[in-house]
């Protein structure tokens, strides 16, 4: 109970500051729609908001017919809050899954969580909330929203290990006005301990690590979805044939294991060419790049500088690297790293930070 009390006291202080400085209204008047996934984080987020005085309703997005709906309903019942299930399967299939398949066909390695957050969790769910009289939506993401002078900003979560701001860079300032991240100030261990002390049923569940709609591996999923991927040539950077691959959907930049051929030395995937149906291999030092191009840009707040000095993450679990970002035409940017980066992977996101603030980002070309 001590951990829970610490969490609740800290949250109450944050809520009081937020209300005085931003809204100047009682939180008891505010309705929040909390996305319940069935896991410990979303349940803990709902619990904290209830204790803070919000009127909390739970919602679960049925995206691929998983058992999460039953777990979420059990969490809502335990918390004593209304619970709604939204059928988002059609939209999920037409956006997240469609993009996932298309990107692999193009020789890229997509991040479906980024698309899901933009189109589903902070798209479909937020639209539903605003249409049904809710003031905010909330999720169990480890990130923060700050405000200054009437502007809203996305910040990293306090936990450097658990921070999930990378997946949220496609949010907009207008959306941030209606978003709460109750767990952003805490470490995962604190949240789990508080949930356990409160008796939340999901407190013992392990974190989900996989893509929610894939039960095996991505290549098997794509094949079952009818994606054709013929065998072709492994080549080196000069174009010399090194062997045969068994379909481009089985590979990603930086991959070494699972190539299926013995080359007599350690080789890594350097690039994938769907037009020529080739996979380029090379040694590890050839994986490093001093620059890349990012497209389909999104900046959370208006950017007046060009070029921009920032720190850039090219994968969720990677360290941010100092870089210069030059905005180009057609929603593209040239990212020039201070030091070459390993395995810059087309399809992944390059996310731009300034200290703890998320500026935005784009898809690596």
Q: What is the pLDDT of residues 80-119, one digit of tens each?
A: 999 999 999 999 999 999 999 999 999 999 999 999 999 9
Closest CA to 111 of 277, 296, 264: 296
- On whether both 171 and 265 belong to a single domain, the answer is no
State the pLDDT at residue 66. 62
State the pLDDT at residue 22. 34
Q: What share of the chain is helix, strand, coil (3-state, %, to 5)?
A: 35, 30, 35
Q: Could you say which of 14, 113, 212, 292 is catalytic?
A: 212
Tens digit of pLDDT for each residue in 225-260? 999 999 999 999 999 999 999 999 999 999 999 998
CATH of the domain at 36: 3.40.50.620
State the pLDDT at residue 261. 83
Looking at every residue in the chain, the average pLDDT score rounds to: 91
From residue 328, give the alpha-carbon distance in Å to each of 219, 282, 332, 336, 345.
34, 30, 5, 13, 20
The verdict on residue 215 lying in a domain is: no
Known catalytic residue: 212? yes
- On whether both 158 and 40 belong to a single domain, the answer is yes
- When pLDDT is cut at 50, 70 and 90, the band that residue 64 belongs to is confident
Peptide bond into 307 cis (omega under 30): yes
State the pLDDT at residue 184. 98
Sign of the dihedral defined by the CA atoms of residues 160, 166, 167, 169, in that order: positive
CATH of the domain at 351: 2.40.30.10
Q: Could you say which of 64, 113, 116, 292 is catalytic?
A: 116
- On whether both 275 and 299 belong to a single domain, the answer is no
- When pLDDT is cut at 50, 70 and 90, the band that residue 215 belongs to is confident
- On whether both 158 and 250 belong to a single domain, the answer is no
- On whether both 145 and 261 belong to a single domain, the answer is no
Check residue 248 and report its DSSP letter. Answer: G
Known catalytic residue: 116? yes
∠ CA 178-111-319, rounded to 5° = 90
pTM for the structure as a whole: 0.91
- Sheet harboring 232-235: ordered strands across? 241-245, 232-235, 278-282, 268-273
The verdict on residue 183 lying in a domain is: yes
Rounded CA gap, 347 and 274, in Å?
A: 14
């Amino acid at each position: 109970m001590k951990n829970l009390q610490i969490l609740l006291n800290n949250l109450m202080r944050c809520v009081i500051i937020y209300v005085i400085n931003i809204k100047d209204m009682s939180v008891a008047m505010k309705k929040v729609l909390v996305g319940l996934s069935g896991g410990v984080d979303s349940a803990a987020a709902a619990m904290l908001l209830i204790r803070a005085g919000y009127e909390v309703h739970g919602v679960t997005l049925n995206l691929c017919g998983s058992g999460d709906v039953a777990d979420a309903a059990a969490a809502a019942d335990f918390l004593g809050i209304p619970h709604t299930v939204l059928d988002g399967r059609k939209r999920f299939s037409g956006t997240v899954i469609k993009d996932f398949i298309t990107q692999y066909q193009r020789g890229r390695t997509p991040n479906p969580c980024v698309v899901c957050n933009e189109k589903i969790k902070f798209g479909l769910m937020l639209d539903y909330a605003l249409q049904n009289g809710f003031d905010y939506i909330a999720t169990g993401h480890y990130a923060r929203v700050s405000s200054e002078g009437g502007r809203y900003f996305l910040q990293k979560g306090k936990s450097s290990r658990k921070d999930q701001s990378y997946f949220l860079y496609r949010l907009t300032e207008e959306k941030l006005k209606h978003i709460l991240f109750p767990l952003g100030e805490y470490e995962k261990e604190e949240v789990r301990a508080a949930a356990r002390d409160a008796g939340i049923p999901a407190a013992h569940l392990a974190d989900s690590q996989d893509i929610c709609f894939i039960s095996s591996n991505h290549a098997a999923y794509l094949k079952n979805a009818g994606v054709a991927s013929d065998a072709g040539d492994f080549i080196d950077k000069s174009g010399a044939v090194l062997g045969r691959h068994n379909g481009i959907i089985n590979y990603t930049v930086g991959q070494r294991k699972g190539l299926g051929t013995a080359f007599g030395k350690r080789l890594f995937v350097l690039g994938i060419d769907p037009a020529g149906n080739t996979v380029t291999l090379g040694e590890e030092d050839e994986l490093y790049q001093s620059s890349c191009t990012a497209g389909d840009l999104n900046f959370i707040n208006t950017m007046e500088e060009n070029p921009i000095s920032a720190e850039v993450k090219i994968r969720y679990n990677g360290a941010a690297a100092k870089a210069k970002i030059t905005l180009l035409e057609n929603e593209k940017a040239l990212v020039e790293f201070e030091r070459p980066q390993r395995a810059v992977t087309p399809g992944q996101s390059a996310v731009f930070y300034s200290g703890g603030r998320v500026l935005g980002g784009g898809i690596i070309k």
